[in-house]
Amino acid sequence: MPFVIVENNIRGQEMNAFRFKTMDDFREMLEVLPVPDTQAIEEAALRNSMLTKPAGALGRLEDIAAWYAGWQGTPNPSIETPCIVVFAGNHGVTAHGVSAYPMDVTAQMVENFRSGGAAINQLCDEVGAELSVYPMQLDVPTADFTSQPAMTKEEFVEALSTGWNSVKTACDTLVVGEMGIGNTTAAAAVAAALFDRDPEIWVGRGTGIDESGITVKRAAVADGLSTHLEFLDDPFEALRRLGGKEMAAMAGAIARARIESIPVILDGFICTAAAAVLEKARPGALDHCIAGHLSAEAAHGRLLDSIGKLPLLRLGLRLGEGTGGALAIPVVRAALRCHSGMATFEEARVSGRTK
């Protein structure tokens, strides 16, 4: 049965856990990344051509199966041990009134995760995924990025390391999610820094702010971009200065999954912004990722286009927590079941194409 693990504090984790010493250590890790198993992809393609269906009849499901085969290193991939990791962080930029909810909600939602009352708990039960929740020093929010870097270099590296250590090598599919009041503001700022420094494009309603709130949020993002302008050509500096601890942890987890050749299903806007940092720093770094869904946050589609990802689902979600990624697991699992479980024409004694 799925279960919840809640780590009390990133400083309270086991002392022998791996830690990056500097941002450059993390950069170096991205220089040489595993690639998919081409033989497994070829064998999966051959198997697909013999299954009892017209060529291409299962559409994107066929592509997903071949993609999974490459990362799992087998022509018959499957999902047996999916893991969902949720990182929770607080943001100093909320002092500007950028969210419809107070910062206290972050810690309250962590307790809701712990007691099994959140949406992601229900979805983990439904899809058979293990859930881990990491509060990222909720009593120490990031600094207000409109006037100073959101994280010190030490805080940033520690958050990256927490994400890195959160990934279990026994996991065969990873979804990373988040909880944090104010984090759509941070994600919008990071996305703007990476791709187009125009707050009008990237700022959305988040938890449901009104038009006056949108104006305040855009102003905060614009101030942040202006304050840190000379550093924003470096994707990691953009994340450190404008993002959140939970976003840095998500980037660390996604990078670790690549090192372990674990496929990742991306969640919504905030998760995608964190992932985009890796792609911007090292093109191809997200080849092991697919987009679980297109959220209702206005800029999510633009961000997915920027990193070349096509969403599997369009359900109008804007909750976070990894919920959209979790909902995509059954679709991916169905693709793999069809690919690995269907009979070939020969096995089923069904006549193949005549021409």
Residues designated as active site: 321
Q: Where are the alpha helices (DSSP H) in 244-313?
A: 245-259, 269-281, 300-306
Using alpha carbons, select from 97, 136, 160 the residue that is nearest to residue 7.
136
From residue 307, alpha-carbon distances to 43, 219, 274, 280, 297 in Å are 28, 26, 11, 8, 17
What are the CB-based long-range contacts (under 8 Å, 24+) for 7-11? 7/132, 7/133, 7/134, 7/135, 8/135, 9/135, 9/137, 10/134, 10/136, 10/137, 10/158, 10/159, 10/162, 10/245, 11/137, 11/158
Question: What six digits make up the tokens of 71?
Answer: 């990362």
How would you class 305 by CB atoms within 10 Å of its CB: exposed for 0-12, middle for 13-18, buried for 19 or more? exposed
Question: What six digits make up the tokens of 29?
Answer: 């890790």
Q: What residues contact 216, with CB distance under 8 A and at least 6 apart?
A: 96, 97, 98, 209
The half-sphere exposure of 269 on its side-chain side, counting CA atoms within 13 A, is 31
Using alpha carbons, select from 319, 343, 314, 313 the residue that is nearest to residue 331.
313
| Ramachandran region, residue 206 (left: φ > 0; alpha: ψ -120 to 50; beta: rest) | left
Instruction: Tell me the C-alpha distance between 205 and 185, whole Å.
Output: 9
